[in-house]
A = this chain, B = another copy of it.
Amino acid sequence: MTAQALSPTLSDDELALIDAYWRAANYLSVGQIYLLDNPLLREPLAPEHVKPRLLGHWGTTPGLNLVYAHLNRVIRQRDLNLIYITGPGHGGPGLVANAYLEGTYAEVYSAISEDVDGLRKLFRQFSFPGGIPSHVAAETPGSIHEGGELGYALVHAFGAAFDNPDLVVACVVGDGEAETGPLAASWHSNKFLNPVTDGAVMPILHLNGYKIANPTVLSRIPQDELESLFYGYGYRPITVAGDDPANVHQQLAIAFDEAFDQIGAIQRAAPLDGEDGRPLWPMIILRTPKGWTGPEKVDGKKVEGTWRAHQVPLSETRSNPEHMAQLEEWMRSYRPEELFDDDGALRPELRALAPTGARRMSANPHANGGLLLRDLDLPDFADYAVAVDEPAGDTAEATKVLGTFLRDVIARNPDRFRLMGPDETASNRLSPVLEVTDKAWLAETSEDDENLGPEGRVMEVLSEHLCQGWLEGYLLTGRHGLFNCYEAFVHIVDSMLNQHAKWLSSSSQLPWRRPIASLNYLLTSHVWRQDHNGASHQDPGFIDHVANKRPEVVRVYLPPDANTLLSVADHCLRSKHYINVIVAGKQPALNYLSMDEAIAHCARGVGIWEWAGSTGGGQERSDPGSGLGEPDVVLACAGDIPTLETVAAADILRKRLPDLKVRVVNVVDIMRLQPDSEHPHGLSNREFNSLFTEDKPIIFAYHGYPWLIHRLTYRHANHNQLHVRGFKERGTTTTPFDMVMLNDLDRFHLVMDVIDRVEGLGARAAGLRQEMADARLAARRYTREHGEDDPAISGWTWEPGDGSAD
């Protein structure tokens, strides 16, 4: 339907006022892009008033300002608790202008006062060295979404709405952004939004028709296809279209009235009666010209209503008098003298159009989520420990154990914790959580379904983008969560992670922004246990990607067993403003540490496992604390499978070369490997040397690409003696042990590496080396013959004795 058809809803006075407010926002937007001085044009515009470099985006801005002005109206009228997500975040001047107009800007940045001097500073700082970014960045009050990389506006909006029943999240989706994959999938988020316990999302698809240089797809399909598309997505579209401001003001006011009436009706009709109760939420299609109210033509070419309005319509405003005159005419067309008083403050009748206090979109605490953050009520993770009487004797499924802890985290925090996963939560063995909650589901159900429900705390959709985006929106508005994902496919959100990391870095520099809960990843179904799905599912590179982000923001943990996973997970859920990546296996795997040992080990992040090493005495050690001096070789490991292979290799060495002093070092927190100058968790050189020695060979078995370990450690003295084994892109559909053999990470190869690198081991070692090479061949032969690993290898456990410490 089209709002146009209805009778006017705004009186002439109301319309004039709302139009004036819009003009004020547009004026301030243009001023920010162009002016250094003379902010209210109280003298004729001169070249020195204009910025030498013009950086900013005009095209989307009048539309953003229009929506803002109208949302102010409905917020006041209905006393709405509403935040505004700006998909076209490059329309930064508009959002800054509005935050300024409603007084928030001056409250947050006192130098930008509500007078002529403040206006001058407001204009000057925009896109100016030492000033503010050109986008709706963390620096912009009221924003949780920069929108620099396009695609995530709507998914952030839904994330913000979950578990916020009183909140409305208005979300402008640009028609450029609407072409991206993540945005195209995001519309289906309405199948996961519960009208009873969640808030509402009010999407506004802004068809201004153009991207940087091209028309947009959705602006160039017939209206019936467009409306069908959104009906097909499960919405009731309301179209507003035009280029006459007065007419569009009326249409948009009617459209918002109608949309918010519908939202109210949907929420009043709740709770859902029956299973087919998913409502059709309203959405608005707003079709207005790009760069509306800006220069119609420049240098003879049409600008308003075309892609040429995207950035700076007039580019030679300092050097070309015609451009300068056009700029002045453009700015004066907003009649600033009617909008601002003598002191430069917004006139009171206009100021009265904005909501007040926390109802202002720029001051809504949901857009500064740390203000609302409440710690999780966490059970004692130690209560979920597996009993470990001796190291490497029994197995557990680490993620399943974690699932029992998460189950109780969910039960204790029904309003502020969600678990996201792309259809993999059960596959990742976190299914204990389903004992206390459902998977969120508002679409149709069938009698065969299990664990689906409108209030589910687990969110599953086959889109890593949606999982990540929902969680980001949820965290940014002050809640907590965990994203569990197959390790290989988390690369799908590499770029989203970049943007979130940048947001965390920038926002941590702003004293008025409060820290939010960390973004926690559990990467499982990892590279070493995707032997069944083959090469496409094998990629450990997300850690490398994360390690490129700023050290104050990123943390990476590789707990080797169930108890260490519990300890690490507890730590991550308590932390704030980080990106925590936890990599842990889901298959049955050996337990090494009791809970107490796990806590101590995780607190250090890296440590010597005395029980696994050998003191070189050639016989049993009576005192595990003794004889632990300088080893001949260090076997280091990070990750559950590398740890298994390392402990097994050390066991072979202990038994077969009893005179060799082997130290086993396990690394949980790989940021510990960096120097302390590079990362807050980094080791000092002294600490590093005390673990890894100053000059002994280090054979490091690592979960991922081996060079990451080199990149982290190259500043340490003993780096030259470091030899790393890891994943080198050798994988296919095969058995678990064949996977490690393909990449030379297996226990036999680690023993060979030791023999190759420790000098003077003699004939016995040479014989062992040959034996190891033979063992590899035999294992390979067994696998190819039987289609599974030799149980002697896959069922290996560590046994005390034969030179061991016990």
Contact = CB atoms under 8 A, between A and B. Distances in A.
B213 A460 contact: yes
Contact of A188 (B179, B215, B463): B179
A498 interface: yes
Copies per assembly: 2
Interface in A282-329: 302, 305-306
A403 to B, nearest CB: 14
Interface string A754-790: 0000000000000000000000000010011011100
A443 B217 contact: yes
A534 to B, nearest CB: 4
A229 B541 CA distance: 36
A149 B217 contact: no
A182 interface: yes
Interface stretch (A124-132, A261-269, A569-577): A124-132
Interface stretch (A197-205, A353-361, A542-550): A542-550
Interface residues of A, number: 121
A423 B213 contact: yes
A491 B502 CA distance: 14
Contacts of A548: 541, 544, 705, 729
Given A134-B532, A452-B215, A181 B179 contact: no
Which secondary structure dominates chain A's binding surface? loop
A726 to B, nearest CB: 11
A492 B489 contact: no
Interface stretch (A63-71, A95-103, A731-739, A798-806): A731-739
A690 interface: no
Contact of A735 (B53, B134, B492, B738): B53
A49 interface: no
Given A52-B788, A230-B232, A463 B425 contact: no
Interface in A436-484: 439, 441, 443-446, 448-449, 452, 460-466
A725 interface: no
B185 A53 contact: no
B212 A463 contact: no
A644 interface: no
B536 A426 contact: no
A622 interface: no
Contacts of A149: 488-489, 492, 536-537
A718 interface: no
Interface string A413-427: 000000000011111
A380 B172 CA distance: 48
B129 A215 contact: no
Interface string A225-262: 11111111110000000000000000000000000000
A55 to B, nearest CB: 4
Contact of A550 (B137, B427, B446, B729): B729
A76 interface: no
Interface string A690-713: 000000000000000101101100
Contacts of A466: 179, 181
A122 to B, nearest CB: 15
Interface in A112-147: 127-135, 137, 146
A661 B700 CA distance: 40
B217 A191 contact: yes
A384 interface: no
Interface string A206-228: 00000111111100111001111
Nearest to A155: B181
A177 interface: yes
A183 interface: yes
B549 A729 contact: yes
B541 A146 contact: no
Nearest to A722: B714
A685 interface: no
A272 interface: no
Interface string A725-753: 00001001111001000000000000000
A443 B209 CA distance: 12
Interface string A2-38: 0000000000000000000000000000000000100
B462 A216 contact: yes
Interface in A495-530: 495, 498-499, 502, 505-506
Contacts of A425: 213
A663 interface: no
A333 interface: no
A173 to B, nearest CB: 12
A377 interface: no
A675 interface: no
Contact of A52 (B135, B211, B445, B787): B787
B426 A502 contact: no
A400 interface: no
Nearest to A57: B533
A539 B505 CA distance: 14
Contact of A215 (B443, B494, B539): B443
Contacts of A177: 462
A137 B536 contact: yes
Interface string A164-187: 000000000000110111111110
A719 interface: yes
A414 to B, nearest CB: 21
A664 interface: no
Given A149-B492, A495-B491, A231 B234 contact: no
A655 interface: no
Contact of A213 (B220, B426, B443): B426
Given A52-B787, A228-B231, A550-B729, 14 more contacts: A89-B536, A128-B787, A129-B734, A134-B533, A135-B536, A180-B465, A191-B217, A191-B221, A214-B441, A225-B234, A226-B232, A232-B233, A502-B536, A545-B545
25 contacts: A52-B786, A53-B532, A53-B735, A90-B533, A127-B733, A130-B783, A135-B733, A137-B536, A148-B533, A179-B188, A184-B188, A213-B424, A213-B426, A213-B460, A214-B441, A217-B461, A222-B444, A230-B232, A231-B232, A494-B495, A502-B729, A506-B535, A545-B545, A707-B714, A714-B714
Q: Which 10 A-B pairs have the closest CB atoms?
A: A148-B536, A229-B232, A181-B181, A184-B184, A228-B232, A220-B443, A491-B495, A133-B534, A179-B462, A181-B182
